[in-house]
Amino acid sequence: MDTVKNKVKTVDEYIALFPDETAEKLTEIRQIIKTVVPQAEEKISYNIPAYFLNGMLVYFAGFKNHIALYPYVKTNSDLDKELEEYKSGKTTIQFKLNKPLPTKLIIKLVKFRVSESFKKQK
């Protein structure tokens, strides 16, 4: 899905660009974020869904074969072990579309980003 060509203004518009299976998983990630941190501001940044609280918290994006979560996670030994089975880099984690989302891991990642956000604020 080339979302760069499809400028979107809302997360609903973004999710609507994808096939149903992908849209369902994007919606699930969105709901997790909104449940864990309801006070986060939801917007589109870099043409993908983004959440802000005391600065950037997390982005997510859909692709042909995976969904990417961009949590800007610094090394966190508690999470590193759990992330081993997923393709990841310094700022992104990929979840394959043909597997269930690891909701507990996503919750932990979002909570970690919230704690990082409040540390920055202090």
**Cα angle vertex 96, ends 6, 87, to 5°?**
105
Name residues whose C-beta falls within 8 Å of residue 66's C-beta, 6 or more positions apart in sequence: 87, 94, 95, 96, 97
pLDDT for position 3: 45
- In degrees rounded to 5, what are phi and psi of residue 94? -110, 130
pLDDT for position 45: 93
Structural domains in the chain, CATH included, are 11-116 (3.90.1150.200)
pTM: 0.86
What digits encode the pLDDT tens for the residues 45-65?
999 999 999 888 999 999 999
The more confidently predicted of residues 89 and 27 is: 27
pLDDT for position 102: 93
Q: Quote the percentage of the chain above a pLDDT of 90.
A: 60
What number is the average pLDDT over the span 29-51?
Answer: 96
pLDDT at 75 over 50: yes
